[in-house]
Structure 1
Amino acid sequence: MVKTLYLVRHGETGGDDKKRYKGSIDVPLSEKGEEQIRHSARFIEKAINSSIDEQRQSYLAEIHGSELIHHAETVIYSSSLIRAYRSAEIIGERFHIKPIVTKEFTERSFGLWEGMTFLDIKEKYPKEFSQWRKNPLRYSPPKGESSMDVKKRVIPRFKEILKSHKTDNIIITAHGGVNRIILCYLLGIPLKNIFRIEQTYGCVNIIEFWKDYPVIKVLNHV
């Protein structure tokens, strides 16, 4: 029996056309964002049902064996921010489950830069902007977090969740930055590769665990 993780980025939010750094600002999904997540929910449901069918076939093939098959349950964890939590609610409706709020999965705080565009930051904080560009992983915006700070809160909680579910389907709805940190961890690659992993609004990543060894089956599916 395989443990499977469905790692989801929340859907689009209002005002995304201006590409502002929202970070910990609590903004809701747009109508388009809700539709993106409904599409993702259907995809996840189909993937889980397909997995269940494979388990049944395996069970029938070994029906005379002594070990009974374990039917995996589905659980869903979500960032506490509304754009991720609402995404989790939409997905959870498919499985009649409620999301478990997980504050460690909230998006990176950009501090005083939140609500600003890339150009806004460059113009209003030229010195800090230069430091950020030189050391994007370890630099913390004024009153904000660095990517390394986020990793320090995300990964320990993520490992706890994996440990507590041996053979279940685990769904996590979070954010672009959080997802990239988790994927770097699962791939065993340095965090500097975070900017090489695309995470589109509403995307689904599927990771199977074979004796705790992660295998990425689907990446950034939309």
Structure 2
Amino acid sequence: MTDFWLRIFLIRHGHVAYFDEDNKPVNPKYAQLSPQGIEQIGLLADNLKDTAFDRVYSSTMPRSIQTAEILTQHHSSEQVSTVDAIREIKSGRLRDLTEDNSETELKEAYLLQTNQLEHFLQGEKWQDFSHRVLDWFEKTILSASKQQNILISSHDAVNRVIINWMYNHPLADIYTQEQDYGCLNILDIYVKNNQILHKRIKLQNFTTYNPLKKGLFNSAMDDVYNMYVDNNGFKE
């Protein structure tokens, strides 16, 4: 009989530079951390410098890899494993949105059940996205054979799906599970005889750089909408 608790440090990458020095949009697939994002993750890394990680994962996207590398800078022996299954959900072409419907579609993109949305912004299917994330997450948990600290450097929608799974609400509306840039979630999962028996959330959406969320009123999709408006010259 084998039983143990796993502690998951689930982190969203830091602030991202979605526009280059000439104010031209960068493909989100290749976007990297901005100086602000690097500072955010650096502060979190200082908080975690005394925490040793048995396994470290990031998605295959540059901003997630950068985040994991900064977080492990105090422990050179910790190797980052990149995983495509936890890359961010893929949207359709935002240029196909119209001025009339862009605000609703962007700001309410996470209300998938309320708005009966099969796809995320006309892109990846929510069902497919949830399966790829949670299949990998559960397999990773069940591959452990003893108590471990596991660091996962991931993305907004990925984290929300995992947190909903912790609440036993898979693929529910994920609008309320806010994930600010550079936030930390601590999840404890109890495994016994290769089965997941208990789940506890010890910390959620904690931002070292702004613990009381002063001025952080926008949701992640509000930020996307504002960038979209600025890039397309629309007036709010």
TM-score (norm 1): 0.73
**CA separation of 1:157/1:39 partners in 2, compared to 1, >3 Å: closer, same or farther?**
same
Residue 54 of structure 2 corresponds to 74
**2:17 partner SS:** coil
2:200 equivalent to 1:215: yes
Distance 1:22 1:201 in 2: 18
Where in structure 2 are the equivalents of 1:1-222 lying within 5 Å? Answer: 2-15=5-18, 24-46=28-50, 48=51, 74-96=54-76, 97-113=78-94, 121-123=97-99, 129=105, 135=115, 137-142=117-122, 144-165=123-144, 166-211=146-191, 212=196, 213-222=198-207
Tell me if structure 1 keeps the 8 A contact 2:18–2:27. Answer: no
1:125 to partner: Cα distance:
6.9
Structure 2: tracts of 5 or more residues without a match: 20-24, 208-236
State the one-letter code of the partner of 1:156: D
* 1:2 alignment partner, SS class: strand
Higher relative contact order (CA 8 A, sep 6+): 1
SS at match of 1:93: coil
User: How far is 1:186 from its partner?
Assistant: 1.4
158 and 140 in structure 1: CA distance in 2 versus 1, 3 angstrom threshold: same
Flag the structure with higher helix content. Answer: 1
- Residue 196 of structure 1: CA displacement? 0.7
Q: Which runs of structure 1 show a deviation greater than 6 angstroms over 4 or more consecutive aligned residues?
A: none
| Partner SS state of residue 154, structure 1 | helix
Q: Using the aligned pairs only, state the percent identity.
A: 28
- Mapped to 1, the partners of 2:72 and 2:59 lie a distance apart of 14
TM-score w.r.t. length of structure 2: 0.69
Measured against aligned partners, the alpha-carbon deviations of 1:68-126 in whole angstroms (never above 9, x if no partner) come to xxxxx52110010000010011112222212100001000111212xx6xxx8242877
> Deviation at 1:150?
1.0
Q: 1:137 to 1:22 in 2, by over 3 A?
A: farther
